[in-house]
């Protein structure tokens, strides 16, 4: 692992936390894929398999009052932020006990309590929102960071460029997190971009920016801590490109005709979870029994979440149109 | 009428000044309110609506933006979600198409999509309509499109009182409200009560009472319709003029009550005819007042053409009093 220099005192507890977070996402989504084939989860399902180190490296360095804008591939972010597995899975079932009342599904997990401002399913559409959230904080002189996640596909959208410019121009506390997994659905970065070094694009808007190995949770965390601290101290935006890879298909409908199996296998060698697990084991930081215990706890949590979602209730059709507008206050 | 005597005398005011007074009033009432858009500050507003406000409120609250309609409209949405009360000004409805993703996919959807956890108390103002020879990319009337979208409210202030009064009520609304200001109204001048203030934003208004036919319209077509009603009166036809004021939601009650009384209706709408707001209103009348009708419904809409530059063609493309009179006479069976 590369970045222990930036964080020399990685405690055992912290290492276990990181591993637990990543495993929770991985196992949860493995279950989601299974539930999808059973048609318990419908619609689109975008898995974060391979990219876990990004959410796990970034989100815990944020504070409770900070805000998060995420994409449609946001199960991992939601779990790390503190949305319960039960509430997330019930949402994916479409049950009213879900974190968005069942109205959003997999792509639209929201949670007011943790300032989780939604999975946004229009690529690039979340960036202007993040600008506005940060603008509100900026105008009220509050030291709140808005972390905005988006993929490499969003970099081609006009909203990306408009938003970076606005953030830098107005000095807004936005932490841009580009999750560069090299593919916008099936379009490779090199097919879509004249400049494939994405963090360099931030420079033309005068944003502080850096790129980090997104398969290395420690490196991501160290960079995210620096970045979030810079945003909080200066009130200015920061751009962090996390270079990562999606092991699975874009969504459950994707036959993956656009990439070689060998490429996927090569990236699997860099799996952020096995890499980190091997590293902590080699450093004798974590006993195999502890990992087994974590796995067992996660399995229990997943089983409870499935039971919760199964037992969840459907919103009555009678309330179909509620919340299109705010309920009338009496 | 002692109360009236105690009131300050009405002031001669333009529509533009009424909108400006509404913005100033909102800024003074609530520090969460700010205005954001292209050229709203140093330039004073594309249509000079916000002239002078920068000096009064400063650049933080009268915020000039780059030409980034999607970016700053989305920023308004985010700021509203975070508790501010932004007024976003988009220069014209044609440009608002660059922000349509934010308006439809975020502003209109977030409350429902989040299970009521987040709301977007945002106001977006924009100019609409033809008549200044601005050709096909600055002259369209797309408010009817916006009225198609659940999750937002759509207003069309046509009078000085509404230009002055709708904004504050819209800002108090917990959901996004779009306000369409017809460009031909900005120079309209008339007396406005010095203490004019907030008005309701959910009722249509009867601007002229009549018993023979209902002329249903909104925004820039209101005064053409009132002119048509005057011409009809000279021929012994008493037309009732309904000003929709709110295009979404539509005040079915007022519209249907008028038509039940007059038993005939013409809808006047500067949008294109096919799939228009006028079509929606006619269908609602069919659904709710079919057996009260004595004649087929009629519409006066814009011709199905991108608005052309030459004045005579531009004027031929949009509703005019003569067309309204002709349509009303056809419905009344008083043709030639």
Both tokens of residue B190? 């008339």
Give backbone dihedrals phi and psi of A195, rounded to 5 degrees, phi first. -120, 110
* Strands B239-243, B213-217: pairing kind: parallel
| Partners of residue B113 in chain A, C-beta under 8 Å | 100, 103-104, 108, 110, 118
CA B48 to chain A, closest CA, distance in angstroms equals: 24
B58 in A contact zone (CB under 8 Å): no
Average the pLDDT over A123-139 and give the result: 98
Q: Residues for chain B: how many in total?
A: 336
Cβ under 8 Å to A: B residues 234-273? none
pLDDT tens, position by position, B156-181: 999 999 999 999 999 999 999 999 99
Interface contact A122-B70, CB threshold 8 A? no
pLDDT tens, position by position, A266-317: 999 999 999 999 999 999 888 889 999 999 999 999 999 999 999 999 999 9
Interface contact B113-A108, CB threshold 8 A? yes
Residue A74 has pLDDT above 60, yes or no: yes
Q: How many CB atoms lie within 10 A of CB B314?
A: 20
Residue A30: name the closest of A220, A254, A305, A260 by CA. A305
Q: How many CB atoms lie within 10 A of CB A38?
A: 8
Mutate to test the interface with B, among A70, A325, A326, A329 (most CBs of B within 10 A): A325
pLDDT tens, position by position, A220-246: 999 999 999 999 999 999 999 999 999
Cβ contact A42:A20 at 8 Å: no
Residue A77 has pLDDT above 50, yes or no: yes
A128 in B contact zone (CB under 8 Å): yes
Q: pLDDT value at position A4?
A: 43
Which of B70, B76, B151 lies closest to A325 in CB terms?
Answer: B151
Average the pLDDT over A118-147 and give the result: 97
B322 in A contact zone (CB under 8 Å): no
Interface contact B78-A326, CB threshold 8 A? no
Residue A328: band (very low, low, confident or very high) from pLDDT cuts 50, 70, 90: confident
Say if the ipTM goes beyond 0.90: yes
A118 in B contact zone (CB under 8 Å): yes
Average the pLDDT over B43-49 and give the result: 94
A71 in B contact zone (CB under 8 Å): no
Residue A5: band (very low, low, confident or very high) from pLDDT cuts 50, 70, 90: very low
Q: Which residues face B267 on adjacent strands?
A: B216, B299
Cβ contact B75:A127 at 8 Å: no
Interface contact B78-A130, CB threshold 8 A? yes
Residue B336: band (very low, low, confident or very high) from pLDDT cuts 50, 70, 90: low
Residue B1 has pLDDT above 80, yes or no: no
Q: Which ranges of chain B does DSSP label H, i.e. alpha helix?
A: 2-6, 15-29, 53-57, 69-81, 93-96, 100, 110-113, 143-146, 160-172, 222-234, 252-262, 277-289, 311-317, 321-332
Interface contact B81-A326, CB threshold 8 A? no
Residue B202 has pLDDT above 70, yes or no: yes
Cβ contact B35:B23 at 8 Å: yes
Q: pLDDT value at position B4?
A: 55
Environment class of A109 (CB within 10 Å of its CB; exposed 0-12, middle 13-18, buried 19+): buried
Distance in angstroms between the alpha carbons of the first and the last residue of chain A? 58
Residue A1 has pLDDT above 70, yes or no: no
| Partners of residue A166 in chain B, C-beta under 8 Å | 65-66, 68, 71-72, 75
CA geometry: angle at A118 spanning A114 and A124, to 5°? 135
CA-CA-CA-CA dihedral for A317, A320, A326, A329, to nearest 10? -30
Both tokens of residue B39? 């050229």
pLDDT tens, position by position, B110-130: 999 999 999 999 999 999 999
Residues 6+ away with beta carbon under 8 Å from B144: B247, B269, B271, B275, B276, B277, B278, B280
Spatial distance between the Cα atoms of B78 and B177, rounded to a whole number of angstroms: 15
Residue tagged 């200044």 (tokens)? B132
| Partners of residue B77 in chain A, C-beta under 8 Å | 128-129, 132
* Marked catalytic residue, from B17, B38, B89, B138: B138
Interface contact A118-B115, CB threshold 8 A? no
| Partners of residue A99 in chain B, C-beta under 8 Å | 115
Q: Which residues of A248-282 are buried (b: 16+ CB within 10 A; e: fewer)?
A: bbbbbeeeeeebeeeeeeebeebbbbebbbebbee
| Nearest chain A residue to B248, by CA | A325
| Partners of residue B153 in chain A, C-beta under 8 Å | 325
Q: pLDDT value at position A3?
A: 44
Average the pLDDT over A35-43 and give the result: 96
SS3 B210: coil
Spatial distance between the Cα atoms of B30 and B129, rounded to a whole number of angstroms: 31
Which of B101, B114, B174 lies closest to A110 in CB terms?
Answer: B114
Residue A176 has pLDDT above 70, yes or no: yes
Interface contact B111-A323, CB threshold 8 A? yes
Interface contact B70-A158, CB threshold 8 A? yes
B283 in A contact zone (CB under 8 Å): no
Average the pLDDT over B44-67 and give the result: 97
Environment class of B294 (CB within 10 Å of its CB; exposed 0-12, middle 13-18, buried 19+): exposed
Residue A181: name the closest of A150, A151, A148 by CA. A151
Average the pLDDT over B228-245 and give the result: 98
CA geometry: angle at B271 spanning B265 and B275, to 5°? 80
Average the pLDDT over B251-271 and give the result: 98
SS3 B51: coil
Which of A134, A166, A323 lies closest to B72 in CB terms?
Answer: A166
Which of A112, A166, A325 lies closest to B71 in CB terms?
Answer: A166
Interface contact A169-B86, CB threshold 8 A? no
| Partners of residue A162 in chain B, C-beta under 8 Å | 66, 68, 70-72
Both tokens of residue B223? 């005064």
Which of A104, A159, A325 lies closest to B71 in CB terms?
Answer: A159
Spatial distance between the Cα atoms of B211 and B240, rounded to a whole number of angstroms: 6
Residue A239: name the closest of A199, A272, A271 by CA. A199
Residue B5: band (very low, low, confident or very high) from pLDDT cuts 50, 70, 90: low
Distinct helix (H) and strand (E) counts, chain A: 12, 8
* Marked catalytic residue, from B17, B38, B69, B181: B69
B10 in A contact zone (CB under 8 Å): no
What are the DSSP calls for A258-318, one per residue?
Answer: TS-HHHHHHHHTT-HHHHHHHHHHHTT-S-HHHHHHHHHHHHHHHHHHHHHHHH--PPPGG
Q: Is B69 an active-site residue?
A: yes
A114 in B contact zone (CB under 8 Å): no
H or E stretch covering A169 = helix A158-170
Spatial distance between the Cα atoms of A40 and A297, rounded to a whole number of angstroms: 23
A254 in B contact zone (CB under 8 Å): no
| Partners of residue A118 in chain B, C-beta under 8 Å | 110, 113-114, 118
Spatial distance between the Cα atoms of B4 and B314, rounded to a whole number of angstroms: 44
Give backbone dihedrals phi and psi of B243, rounded to 5 degrees, phi first. -100, 115
Spatial distance between the Cα atoms of B74 and A136, rounded to a whole number of angstroms: 12
List strands edge to edge, sheet with A174-180.
Answer: A116-120, A67-71, A146-151, A174-180, A238-243, A208-213
Residue tagged 């656009």 (tokens)? A258
Both tokens of residue A39? 């048609």
Interface contact B68-A101, CB threshold 8 A? no
A320 in B contact zone (CB under 8 Å): no
Cis amide leading into B249 (omega within 30): yes
Interface contact B111-A326, CB threshold 8 A? yes
**Greatest alpha-carbon span in chain B:** 61
| Nearest chain B residue to A110, by CA | B114
């Amino acid at each position: 692992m590369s970045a222990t220099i930036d964080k020399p005192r990685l405690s055992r507890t912290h290492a276990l936390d990181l591993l637990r977070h990543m495993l929770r996402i991985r196992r949860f989504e493995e279950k989601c894929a299974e539930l999808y084939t059973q048609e318990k989860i419908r619609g689109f399902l975008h898995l974060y398999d391979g990219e876990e180190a990004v959410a796990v490296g970034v989100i815990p360095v944020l504070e409770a009052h900070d805000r998060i804008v995420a994409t449609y591939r946001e199960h991992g972010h939601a779990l790390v932020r503190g949305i319960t597995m039960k509430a997330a899975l019930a949402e994916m079932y479409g049950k009213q006990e879900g974190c968005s009342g069942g109205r959003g599904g997999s792509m639209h997990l929201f949670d007011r309590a943790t300032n989780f401002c939604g999975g946004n399913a229009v690529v690039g559409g979340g960036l202007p929102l993040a600008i506005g959230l940060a603008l509100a904080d900026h105008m009220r002189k509050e030291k709140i960071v808005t972390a905005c996640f988006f993929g490499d596909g969003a970099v081609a959208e006009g909203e990306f460029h408009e938003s970076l410019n606005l953030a830098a121009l107005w000095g807004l506390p936005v932490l841009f997190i580009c999750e560069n997994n090299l593919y916008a659905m099936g379009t490779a970065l090199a097919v879509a971009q004249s400049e494939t070094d994405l963090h360099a694009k931030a420079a033309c808007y005068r944003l502080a920016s850096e790129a980090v190995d997104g398969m290395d949770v420690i490196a991501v965390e160290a960079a995210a801590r620096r970045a979030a601290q810079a945003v909080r101290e200066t009130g200015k935006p920061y751009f962090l490109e996390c270079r990562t890879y999606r092991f699975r298909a874009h969504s459950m409908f994707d036959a993956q005709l656009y990439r070689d199996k060998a490429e996927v296998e090569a990236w699997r060698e860099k799996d952020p979870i096995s890499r980190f697990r091997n590293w902590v084991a080699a450093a004798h930081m974590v006993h195999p029994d502890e990992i087994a215990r974590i796995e067992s706890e996660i399995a229990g949590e997943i089983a409870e979440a499935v039971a919760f979602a199964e037992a969840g209730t459907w919103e009555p059709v009678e309330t179909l149109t509620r919340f299109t507008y705010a309920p009338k206050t009496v | 009428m002692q109360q009236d005597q105690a009131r300050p005398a009405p002031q001669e005011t333009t529509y533009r000044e009424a909108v400006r007074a509404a913005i100033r009033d909102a800024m003074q009432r609530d520090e969460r309110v700010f205005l954001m858009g292209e050229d709203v500050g140093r330039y004073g507003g594309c249509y000079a609506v916000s002239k002078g406000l920068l000096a009064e409120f400063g650049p933080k609250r009268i915020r000039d933006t780059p030409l980034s309609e999607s970016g700053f409209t989305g920023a308004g949405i985010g700021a509203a979600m975070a508790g501010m009360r932004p007024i976003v000004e988009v220069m014209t409805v044609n440009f608002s198409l660059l922000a349509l993703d934010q308006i439809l996919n975020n502003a209109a959807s977030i409350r429902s999509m989040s299970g009521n956890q987040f709301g977007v108390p945002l106001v977006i103002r924009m100019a609409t309509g033809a008549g200044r020879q601005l050709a096909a990319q600055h002259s369209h009337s797309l408010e009817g499109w916006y009225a198609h979208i659940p999750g937002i409210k759509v207003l069309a202030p046509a009078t000085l009182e509404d230009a002055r009064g709708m904004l504050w009520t819209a800002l108090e609304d917990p959901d996004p409200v779009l306000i369409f200001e017809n460009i031909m109204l900005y120079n309209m001048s008339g007396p406005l009560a010095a203490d004019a203030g907030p008005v309701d934003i959910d009722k249509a208004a009867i601007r002229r009472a009549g018993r023979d036919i209902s002329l249903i319209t909104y925004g820039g077509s209101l005064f053409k319709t009132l002119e048509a009603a005057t011409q009809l009166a000279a021929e012994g036809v008493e037309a009732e003029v309904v000003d929709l004021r709110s295009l979404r939601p539509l005040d079915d009650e007022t519209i249907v009550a008028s038509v039940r009384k007059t038993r005939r209706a013409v809808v006047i709408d500067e949008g294109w005819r096919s799939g228009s707001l006028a079509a929606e209103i006619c269908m609602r009348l069919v659904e709710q007042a079919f057996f009260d009708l004595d004649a087929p419904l009629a519409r006066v809409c814009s011709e199905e053409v991108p608005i052309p530059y030459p004045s005579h063609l531009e004027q031929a493309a949009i509703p005019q009093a003569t067309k309204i009179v002709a349509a009303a006479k056809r419905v009344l069976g008083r043709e030639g």
